[in-house]
Amino acid sequence: MRIVFFGDSITDCDRDRNDENSLGNGYVKILADKLRPIYPDMDIDLINKGISGNEVCDLLARVQRDVIDYKPDAVVIMIGINNVIHKFKYGKELNLKQFERDLRSLIKKLKDAGIVVIFLEPFLLPSPDKKRMRPLFNQELEIIHNVCVEMCDEFVAYDEMFNGLCISTPYTVYSEDGVHPSFEGSDIIANTAIKAIRKHLM
């Protein structure tokens, strides 16, 4: 069984780009360490193809080379936060209609290739410097939710869950900057992603 993990820095997590076996030090590595002992007799091939800074359009541009050509059984995607961050950080325009078109095209290419698509919702925690991003991010999340519920095999929601946890716990427990997960945050992502993988592949 082969699974490709596809996304931005949350997936990438300092993986060695020159080593196909490198899973980085984030949720993908935690997930691998949990999943393989459950199925010791199964040949599980996990591939990390996250690239820091990527937006949805970047994934669309490299989906053939970095996912489809590997002929995986499934792809696990987390993407979208950079589309909002780059708007505020660099002034890069975020066209929500184009965002939706790119997202639909990305998922369609994967589904047409016969790949199970598991989409992990991006999230934004209440870091003071990120609060101004929330209204635009909510618009993007609505598009992601509608498209992924319609097109993907599994959609795992994180934004409401993490923000709910932050009501009683400081957001820094899960992410120092409100975007990149801590070990605790990555562990939550890994645990919920495993459930989705086992549901569709095991």
**Residue 140 belongs to a domain with what CATH number?**
3.40.50.1110
Residue type, 120: L
Cβ–Cβ contacts within 10 Å for residue 111, how many?
Answer: 14
Is-contact 79 54, C-beta < 8 A? Answer: yes
202 versus 41: which is more confidently predicted? 41
Residue 195 structural domain: 2-201
Query: At 185, is the pLDDT very low, low, confident or very high (cuts 50, 70, 90)?
Result: very high
For 118, the token pair is 């598991």
158-181 burial: b if 16+ Cβ within 10 Å, else e = bbeebbebbeeeebeebbeebbbb
| Inter-CA distances, 66 with 30, 36, 100, 158, Å | 21, 23, 21, 25
**Torsion over CA: 27, 33, 38, 42 (sign):** positive
Residue of 181, 90, 83 whose CA lies nearest to 127:
181
Q: What per-residue confidence (pLDDT) applies to 197?
A: 94
Indicate which residue of 8, 9, 153, 186 is catalytic. Answer: 9
Q: Which of 86, 145, 180, 200 is catalytic?
A: 180
pTM of the prediction? 0.96
DSSP state at residue 122: P
Give yes or no for a contact between 46 and 60, defined as CB atoms under 8 angstroms apart.
Answer: no
Q: In which residue are the tokens 């047409």 written?
A: 112
pLDDT at 201: 85
Q: Is 145 a catalytic residue?
A: no
- The total number of structural domains in the chain stands at 1
Over the stretch 68-124, which tens digit does the pLDDT of each residue have?
Answer: 999 999 999 999 999 999 999 999 999 999 999 999 999 999 999 999 999 999 999
Phi, psi of 38 (to 5 degrees): -70, -35
CA separation for the pair 23, 94 (Å, rounded):
30
- Identify whether 9 is a catalytic site residue: yes
